[in-house]
Structure 1
Amino acid sequence: MIPNGCLMFEDESFLDSTVAKMNALRKSGQFCDVRLQVCGHELMAHRAVLACCSPYLFEVFNSEAEHRGGVSLVQFDDLNPKAVEILLSYAYTAQLKADGDLVQDVFSAAKKLKMERVKQICGDYLLSKMDCQSAIAYRSFASSMGDGHLLSNIDAYIQEHLLEIAEKDNFLKLPRLKLEVMLEENLNLPSNGKLYSKVINWVQHSLWETGEPLEKLMDEVQMLYYSADHRLHSGDAAEELLGACVPEDDHAQFVQIKPPRESIQRQASTNFSCSLSSPIGQLSKHEWKCIASEKTSNGTYVCLAVLKGMLCVISLHERCSPQSSPTTTPCLQKSRSLESRGDEPCETPLAPMHYARSGLGTAKLDGRLIAAGGYNREECLRTVESYDPMKDCWTFIAPMQTPRARFQMAVLMGQLYVMGGSNGHSDELSCGETYDPRANEWTRVPELRTNRCNAGVCSLHNRLFVVGGSDPCGQKGLKNCDSFDPLSRAWTKCASLNIRRHQAAVCELDGFVYVIGGAELWNCLNSVERYNPENNTWTLVAPMNVARRGAGVAVHEGKLFVVGGFDGSHALRCVEVYDPARNDWRMLGSMTTARSNAGVAVLNRVVCVVGGFDGNNFLNTMEIYNPESNEWSPSVETLSE
C-alpha cells in the first residue's frame, strides 16, 4: 500500500523469524559478546539483547570501561545454570518454559537480574500450585527472596487454612515456643490478634532482659501469668500459681525466665515502651509478626509467627485457676458422652488418654495397652501412657528419652521397641530406644542405617523389623527393610520391598511380615506385600479394597484387621480384614469416629483403636470392635463382654 506516495510494508513473519535466528546464533556462540559464568557453567549471549531485558545487566554493561569489541564476562556464583538458560531463552523468544521444580530457581535468577515481569509470572505460578503441604516451604522461600507481594498472598492462604497446614510435616518441624498461661480469676484471654501481640511483646522483653537467644526460650515450656491489668508476666507470679496445679504425672518440664541482668534491669520499662536506640529497639529491627492463629479447642491456641526473623510455631494453653483439676493437661481433649435414651441402659465411655495423640506408637504389654509419643497441634510428645482394662484408667509410665511421632512400636522379648520417627523440629530420626517394664526406664539402641520417619515396625523370630518409611526429605517412600538382633545389638539389611512406601501398616502373622498400604510420595496405596524370612523375599498378595496411608493394623484370631487411615482426601472410618487362608479382604463395620494415624492393639481378645486425627481434631478417645455385632463402640461394657 502506498499512501501519499510513500512505500509502507509490514512483514508479520519478520520478527518471529529474526528472533528464532538470533536465538540460534546464541546457542551456536556466533557473534556473541557476553560470557555468563554460572557456577562453573558458561553461557554465551549478546550484550544488546540482554541489556534490553535485564536492568541489572544493563547497569553492569553500562558501568564497564569503553567496550572495544571484546567479550564481556559476568559471573554468578549463586544461581542455577538451568534457570539462567531459561531466562536467556525468554530474552530471545519471549517464551518462558520451566519445569515445576525449577520455578523457584528461575524466580531467584529473575530477582538477581531484575526481570520483574518474569518474577511476577513465577510467583503467580507458585501461588497456583500451593497447597497445605507446600505452604510453609513456599513462605520460607518468599521470605528469603524478600518478596512482599508473594509473602502477603501466601500469608493470606495460611490464615485461611492454618488448621489443615498444622497437620503437615513442614509445620510440625518448625521451631516451637510452648507457653502455659495462668489466668487471674474471672479473666479471659483477649482475642487472637491482641493475644499474640502481647505474646510477641513478652518474647521481646524476655530476650532483652536475659540476653539469651530465642532458641533458649524454646527449650522448655514457659510459665506465664495473665493479670487483671491485661499483661503477661513471667517469674514468681506464674510459678506460684502454676505450681499448685501441674499434674504429678505430667512429664512436661516448666522453667522460669532468668532474673534480668542487673545493668539491664535498671533500664527496664514497665510498659515495654522503647526507642530504636534501646535494646528492645535493636531487637525490633528483625521481623516480628503473627501470621495466623486459631483457637483449636477450649483453652488451646496455635499460632504461626515470625519471631526475630525466625518462622516458628507458638503453642499456648490456658489454665483458668489454681484450683483446676490436677488431671488437667495441656492437650486437646475430646471426650465422647453417651446419654441413655428412653429405657436404654446408660453406657459408660472408655476413659480417654491424658493427651490427644496422632502418629503414636501402641502395643500390648503385660495385659495393658501402651500408647507412646505422637503429636498434637502443640508438639511432638515423649510421654507414655498405660491403659489398665480392669480399672478403665490411664496412668503415666516413664517417658521416652526423645520426643517422637510418626513411628510404630513393637514388643520383642518382653520389652517395647521404638525406632525412628520425627521429633517435630529436625529431620527424621535414626535413633531408637527400648523400654524395660521391670526397671520402668528407656535406654538407647543402636541407630538405624538411615534416618527414617513413618516406617513400620514389628517383631518376628526374636528380631525387630523396620520396613519402609520416608527419606530424609520426608517426601519419597523407601524400599528399605532392616532387622535388629537384640542379643548381638546389630542391624542386618534385608531384601527390599517391591514398592516404595511410607505410612504403611506393618505387622507379623503366621511367620511372615506384612506391609499394608501406605503412600509413595502422597499417592495412597492399596497394595500389600508379605516378607518370608526363610528365603528373604517380598511377595505381593491381594490388595485392600481401599487405598490408605496412616492406617492401624492388629492381628486377631489369625486375621489382619486394618483400621482407618487417610485416603488422600479424608480421614477414614472404614475397616477391613484380611484372611491369609483365602488371600482376600472384606469390609467390616465402620468405626464411630474417623481416625488417621491412630494406634491399634488387641486387648482382652478384642481389637482396640485409640487416638489419631479425625480431620478436624486430635483425639484421645478409644473404641472397641465387637465381632458378634460387627460394630464399634466407645463403651466400657464392650471391653468387659
Structure 2
Amino acid sequence: MTPNGYLIFDDETFLDSTVAKMNALRKSGQFCDVRLQVCGHELMAHRAVLACCSPYLFEIFNSDIETHGVSHIAFEDLNPEAVEVLLNYAYTAQLKAERELVKDVYSAAKRFKMERVKQICGDYLLSKVDSQNAISFRNFANSMNDGRLLAKVDAYIQDHLLDISEQEDFLKLPRLKLEVILEDNLTLPSNGKLYSKVLNWVQRSLWENGDQLERLMEEVQTLYYSPDHKLVDGGLVIDGHSEVFGGEDDHLQFVQKKPVRESTQRQLSCSSSGSLSPSNQAANVQKPTTRRDWKYIASEKTTNSNYLCLAVLDGVLSVIFLHGRNSPQTSPMATPCLMKSLSFEAQPEELEEHPLSPMHYARSGLGTAALNGRLIAAGGYNREECLRTVECYNPSEDCWTFMAPMRTPRARFQMAVLMGQLYVIGGSNGHSDELSSGEMYDPHTDEWVQVPELRTNRCNAGVCSLNNKLYVVGGSDPCGQKGLKNCDVFDPVAKTWSNCASLNIRRHQAAVCELDGFMYAIGGAESWNCLNTVERYNPDNNTWTLVAPMNVARRGAAVAKLTNPQNSLFADVCLYAGKLFVVGGFDGSHALRCVEVYDPARNDWRMLGSMISSRSNAGVAMLGETIYVVGGFDGNEFLSTVEVYNPKTDEWNDCTKTPSPLSE
C-alpha cells in the first residue's frame, strides 16, 4: 500500500535479525566501546545499547560523555554469569537464567536500575517460596531492601510458621527465650498484643538498661506480667523449679535475671588526645545512630503455655520462645522492683567482649598504613563510588576518627610511610582511566599536598618505601587488561621519578612490602590469572629475583611485616619476627580467608590460622605486635569491620575485652 504517495513496508524479520546480529557482534567483541570487568571476567558491549536498558549505566556514560575509545567499568560484587544474562536481555529482550542464578540476576538488575527485570526476578522467586527456603528468601529480600518482596514472604511465613519452624534455617536463627510469670487471675494477651509488649521490653532493655541483644539471648530471661498489664523484668527468685523451656529440644533451665547494669554505650568517635594532627580536635565526628527494624512477623501458640514467634529485633531476624506460668505462692501485686545484690561490689572485675569498632565507611581497594601507633585507612570503593575520606584508628581506645580527606577520590592503590609522611600514588577514581597523580600527607599540618605525577597512569600498583625512597611496582596498563613489569622510584628530596629494574613477571594487584632491606612483590595477576609467584628486589644491584612461591595463588591480598619485638611478653611473637604475613585476596573464584607467613631465612611459606571473614582488597597494618586487617570485599558485601591476629594463639579475633560495668 502507498497512501499519500509514501512507500510503507513493515519488515517483520528485520528487528529479530538485527538484534541477533548485534548480539553476535557483542559476543565477538566487534565494534564494542565499553568493557565491563566483573570479578575477573571481562564482558564487552556497546555503549548505546546498555544506555537504553540501564539508567545506572546511562548516568555513568552521560557523565563521561567526552571519553573516546573504550570505557572501563569494574564491578567487584556482581556475578559475571548474572551480568551476562542482563546483557543478553539488553540485546534480545529475552530473560533466561537458571533457577540458582536468579538471585544474582536480581542483584545485578538492582545495581543497573533495571526495574522491570528486578520485578520479574522477584515474582519468580516468590513463586518458588516454600517452607524450606522461606527464611533464606526473606534474608535475601531484606538484603535487597525490597519492601514488596519482604511483605509477600512475611505473609507466607505467617501462614506456614509451624512448618517453617522445623527447617534447618529456622533452627539456626538467634533465639530469645522468655519466661513470663503471671498472677493467678491473669492471662496473657492475644498473640499480636503479646509480642508488641515483648518488643517494647527488648527495646527498653537495650536502650535504657544498656543490655546487648546477644547478651539477652545467652540465657532465659524471667519477666513479670503485672496486674497493670505491663511486661517488666522479673525480680522473683524461682526456688526449686527446673523446667524445660519451649519444648523437648531446648533443655534449658530457668534462671533469675541479673541485676540491671548502667548503660555503657560506647562512643563511636573518641577524644583526640595524642592524635596524629591538630585538626583531629575538630574531626571528632560521631557516627550517626540508626534505628534498625523492629518488626513482628508471625506467631503461633504451640501449647496452652508456650508461644513461638518470628520477629526482627534491632535488624536481627530472631526467634522468640515464650513460656507463661503462674507465679509462686507469694507474688507482688504491683510491678516489682529489682533487688540489688549486696555482694556485687565485692565481685572481681569481669572482662566483657565487645566487637572492635568498625570504620565509618565500608571500603575495598583502600590504602592502609601504620603511623605513630595508629592505623590509617584511606579511600577505597564503597559500592558505586570511590572515596576521599581518611580514617584513623586508635587501638588503645578502640575508636576511629576522621583525618583530612585526600584531594582526589581513589581506590585500587596502596599507601606507604616515607620519612614520617604518608604517600598515595595512582589508583582509580571510578570514572576515568587510571590515575597518574599522587599525594603526600603531613601529620603536623593535617594536609594532603600533590606530589609529581607518574610518567604513566597506574592502577593496582604496589607501593613501598625502601631506603628513604618510594617505589611503585607493577600495576595495570591503561586498558586494564594485563599487568605491568614497570617499576618506578621517587626521590622525596629531589622530588623526581626515575626507572628501576623491571619485574620478571607482569603483575597487577600484587602485595608489596619491605623486609630487612629488600622489597617483595607477592602474587597478583598477570592478566586475570592469579599468581602464587614471589619476587624480591635487591636495591644494591637493582635486580629482581624469584623466591619460593606461596601455597595459594592470589591477587588483591594484603601484606604486613612483623619486625623484631622489643621485650615481647610472648615467645610465640618472637617466632614471627622478621617475617611477612600475606592476608586474604582473591583466587579467581572466591574471596579468601587464608593467611600465609614467609620466612626469608628458610625461603618458605606456611599456612596460619584463617581470618574470620573472607577479604579481598582489604587493608592491613602492624601496630606493635598485633596485625590489624580492615575492610575489603567478602564476595557479597563491602566491609567496614576490623579483626586482629594473635601470634600466641594463631587465631583471629574481631572483639576486644573491656572491664564490665558493675551495678551499684
TM-score by length of 1: 0.52
Give the alignment partner of residue 151 of structure 1, picking from 76, 91, 102: 91
The CA deviation at 1:142 is: 3.8
- Paired position in structure 1 for 2:185: none
The superposition leaves residues 414-441 of structure 1 with CA deviations (integer Å, 9 ceiling, x where unpaired) of: 0000000000111100000000000000
- Aligned partner of 1:581 among 595, 598, 601: 601
Q: Compared with structure 1, are the counterparts of its residues 433 and 125 closer, same or farther at alpha carbon in structure 2 (3 Å cutoff)?
A: closer
In structure 2, what is the Cα distance between the partners aligned to 1:442 and 1:448?
Answer: 17
Determine the C-alpha separation between the residues in 2 that align with 1:544 and 1:534.
25
Distance 2:145 2:621 in 1: 42
Deviations 1:427-465 (A, max 9, x none): 100000000000000000000111011000010000000
1:364 aligns with 2:370: yes
In structure 2, the residue matched to 1:272 is none
Map 1:611-630 to 2 at 5 A.
Answer: 611-630=631-650
Contact 1:479–1:498, Cα closer than 8 Å, also in 2: yes
Q: Percent identity?
A: 64
Q: Is 1:415 aligned to 2:375, yes or no?
A: no
Query: Which residue of structure 1 lines up, in the alignment, with residue 45 of structure 2?
Result: 138
Note the 1:168-183 alignment, pairs <5 A. none
Task: Please give the residue correspondences for 1:438-517 in structure 2 after superposition, counting only pairs within 5 Å.
Answer: 438-517=444-523
Report Cα offsets for 1:249-278 as digits up to 9, x if no partner.
xxxxxxxxxxxxxxxxxxxxxxxxxxxxxx
Q: Distance in 1 between matches of 2:351 and 2:532?
A: 40
Is 1:455–1:502's contact at 8 Å kept on the other side of the alignment?
Answer: yes
Q: CA deviation at 1:117?
A: 6.7
Q: CA deviation at 1:193?
A: 9.3
Give the AA of the match of 1:140: R
Closer/same/farther in 2, CA of residues 541 and 115 from structure 1, 3 Å limit: same
5+ residue gaps, structure 2, are: 1-13, 54-86, 114-143, 150-284, 293-313, 317-349, 563-576, 659-664
CA deviations on 1:490-515 (whole Å, 9 max, x unpaired) are 00101110000100000101111100
Query: Matched residues in 1 for 2:538 and 2:315: separation?
Result: 42
- 2:399 corresponds to: 393
1:590 aligns with: 610
Matches of 1:415 and 1:166, distance apart in 2:
43
**How big is each residue's C-alpha offset from its partner over 1:115-135, in whole Å with a ceiling of 9 and x where there is no partner?**
8875565567779x9984567
Paired letter, 1:352: P
SS, match of residue 524 in structure 1: coil
Q: Distance in 2 between matches of 1:622 and 1:138?
A: 38
Task: Determine if contact 1:167/1:377 at 8 Å carries over to the other structure.
Answer: no
Asked whether 1:530 is paired with 2:536, we answer: yes
Distance 1:451 1:479 in 2: 14
* Cα displacement string for residues 586-620 of structure 1 (whole angstroms, at most 9, x for unaligned residues): 00000111111000100121111111111111111
SS of aligned partner of 1:636: strand
- Given that 2:507 and 2:526 are in contact with CA atoms closer than 8 Å, whether structure 1 keeps it comes out as yes
**AA partner of residue 458 (structure 1):** C
Ranges in structure 1 where 5+ consecutive residues have no aligned partner: 1-110, 172-188, 195-324, 338-343
Contact preservation (8 Å) 2:89, 2:95: no
**Paired residue for 1:548?**
554
Task: Return the offset for 1:379.
Answer: 1.0
Distance 1:525 1:621 in 2: 27
Contact 2:426–2:438 at 8 Å: present in 1 too? Answer: yes
Tell me the equivalent position of 2:287: 327
| Whole-angstrom CA distance in 2 between matches of 1:608 and 1:148 | 43
Corresponding residue SS for 2:45: helix
- Is the Cα–Cα contact under 8 Å of residues 481 and 495 in structure 1 kept in the other structure? yes
* Partner amino acid, structure 1, of 2:411: A
Name 2:433's counterpart in structure 1: 427
1:377 aligns with 2:383: yes
Matched letter for residue 638 of structure 2: F
Q: Which residue identity lines up with residue 388 of structure 1 in the other structure? A: N
Cα separation, 1, equivalents of 2:519 and 2:383: 33
SS state of the match for residue 348, structure 1?
strand
In the TM superposition, what whole-angstrom CA distance separates every residue of 1:566-600 from its partner, at most 9, and x where no partner exists?
10111100000000000000000001111110001
Instruction: Determine if the alignment matches structure 1 residue 404 to structure 2 residue 414.
Output: no
CA distance in 2, matches of 1:441, 1:482: 25
Provide, for residues 51-103 of structure 1, a one-character-per-residue CA deviation record: whole Å limited to 9, x for no partner: xxxxxxxxxxxxxxxxxxxxxxxxxxxxxxxxxxxxxxxxxxxxxxxxxxxxx
Aligned partner letter, 2:458:
R
Q: For the structure 1 residues 387 and 155, does the alpha-carbon distance in structure 2 shift closer, same or farther, using more than 3 Å as the test?
A: farther
Secondary structure, in 3 states, of the residue corresponding to 1:500?
Answer: coil
Task: Check 1:580–1:166 CA distance in 2 against 1; reply closer, same or farther (3 A cut).
Answer: farther
Tell me, in whole angstroms, the C-alpha distance in 1 between the residues paired with 2:649 and 2:407: 42
3-state SS of 2:514 partner? strand
Alignment of 1:47-196 (within 5 A): 119=22, 121-122=24-25, 132=38, 137-138=44-45, 140=47, 142-143=49-50, 150-152=90-92, 161=104
Cα 1:457–1:130 shift into 2, 3 Å: closer
Given residue 588 of structure 1, which amino acid in structure 2 is its aligned partner? L
- Partner SS state of residue 354, structure 2: coil
* Residues 408 and 418 in structure 1, CA contact (< 8 A), matched pair in contact too: yes
Task: Name the residue aligned to 1:561.
Answer: 581
| Cα deviation 1:306-332 (Å, max 9, x = unaligned) | xxxxxxxxxxxxxxxxxxx951299x9
The CA distance in 2 between the partners of 1:460 and 1:503, in whole Å, is 19
The answer (yes or no) to whether the contact 2:558–2:617 under 8 Å persists in 1 is yes
CA distance in structure 1 between the partners assigned to 2:487 and 2:500 by the alignment: 5
Query: Which deviations, in whole Å up to 9, do the C-alpha atoms of 1:348-379 show, x marking residues without a partner?
Result: 21111111111000001111000000111141
CA gap of 1:190–1:167, structure 2 versus 1, over 3 A, is closer
Task: Count the aligned residue pairs.
Answer: 373
Q: What's the secondary structure of 2:460's corresponding residue?
A: coil
Contact in 2 for aligned 1:166/1:377 (Cα 8 Å): no
With 485-494 and 602-611 compared, the bigger mean Cα shift is at: 602-611
Q: Determine if contact 2:426/2:437 at 8 Å carries over to the other structure.
A: yes
1:604 maps to 2:564: no
1:164 to 1:468, Cα distance in 2 relative to 1, 3 A: farther
Deviations 1:455-502 (A, max 9, x none): 000100000000010011112100010000000000010111000010
Secondary structure (helix, strand or coil) at the match of 1:151 reads helix
Whether 1:570 and 2:590 are equivalent positions in the alignment is yes
The code of the aligned residue for 2:453 comes to E
Q: Distance in 1 between matches of 2:477 and 2:470?
A: 20
TM-aligned CA distance change 1:117 to 1:421, over 3 Å: closer
| CA–CA distance in structure 2, aligned partners of residues 166 and 369 of structure 1 | 37
Distance in structure 1 (CA, Å) of the matches to 2:51 and 2:600: 53
Deviates more, 1:118-127 or 1:514-523: 118-127
Q: Is the 8 Å Cα contact of residues 351 and 392 (structure 1) preserved in structure 2?
A: yes
Equivalent-residue separation in structure 2 for 1:154 and 1:554 (angstroms): 49
- The amino acid of 1:431's aligned partner reads S
Q: Residue 372 of structure 1 contacts residue 385 of structure 1 at CA under 8 Å; is this kept in 2?
A: yes
Q: TM-score w.r.t. structure 2 length?
A: 0.51
Asked if the contact 1:336/1:349 (under 8 Å) is kept, the reply is no
1:12-52 CA-to-partner distances (Å, cap 9, x unmatched) read xxxxxxxxxxxxxxxxxxxxxxxxxxxxxxxxxxxxxxxxx
